Amino acid sequence: MSWYGLDASEDMLKKAKNKLKNVSLVHGLAEDMPYENEKFDYISNNYAFHHFLKKEAALDEIYRVLKKNGVYKLHNIAIHDMRKWWVYHYFPTAYEEDVKRFWEKEVIFDELSIRGFNTELQMTYRLEKIRVSDYLGYAENRDISILTLIDDQDYQEGLEKMRYDVKRNPKKTIVTDFAEMFCISTKG
């Protein structure tokens, strides 16, 4: 079995090289892959599709480099189904930014179908109470990529709301939701 990795970020490739052995890592874009036609049996795309600037071109490339009957697995959060997510609760402009980057599940399904993929799309969803103090560290470190994309003032305001809630009540909980999409597409 041969393993390949492609990333637009040189920094992420450096981190991957330190963690992975026997993997051919390449700097490049999904919308212009440096691979020959029908090279791969399987392509996995986890939590990255929303970062692609030219999503249609990326799907064209994925189709091109997959062998016949090859499988493309797309796994991502489904922001349109998680309006109560704690990130959006405290950082409402994050949702506005995410809407610009994330396709709705129906669009993803349709775009894959148009290209000749046979697609199954499954969703998981959970609604739960979380303790705000358990998530404050993630917000403070900006460990969630959308927090790096919102305006610094919006970020600081949200962070202060979280800190205020935790200071007022260290056990404060809020209702949050989370949705994930699992899309398995086979090249026809």
H helices of 102-184, where? 105-114, 133-140, 145-149, 152-168
Show me where the domains of the chain are located: 31-187
pLDDT in tens, 20-78: 999 999 999 999 999 999 999 999 999 999 999 999 999 999 999 999 999 999 999 99
Contact at 8 Å (CB) between 72 and 66?
A: yes
The first and second tokens of residue 17, run together, are 């090289």
Contact at 8 Å (CB) between 22 and 3?
A: yes
Helix or strand run (H / E) with residue 176: strand 173-187
pLDDT in tens, 69-121: 999 999 999 999 999 999 999 999 999 999 999 999 999 999 999 999 999 99
The first and second tokens of residue 123, run together, are 């969703």
Taking the C-alpha atoms of residue 171 and residue 82, their distance in angstroms, rounded to an integer, is: 23
Domain 31-187 has CATH 3.40.50.150: yes
Task: Give the per-residue pLDDT at 170.
Answer: 98
Helix or strand run (H / E) with residue 174: strand 173-187
Residue with the larger pLDDT of the pair 1 and 119: 119
Task: Give the per-residue pLDDT at 143.
Answer: 82
Mention every residue, 6+ apart, whose C-beta is less than 8 A from residue 30. 6, 8, 45, 48, 52, 58, 61, 62
Nearest partner of 102 among 74, 129, 139, judged by Cα: 74
Q: Enter the pTM of the model.
A: 0.91
State the pLDDT confidence band at 160, using cuts at 50, 70 and 90.
Answer: very high
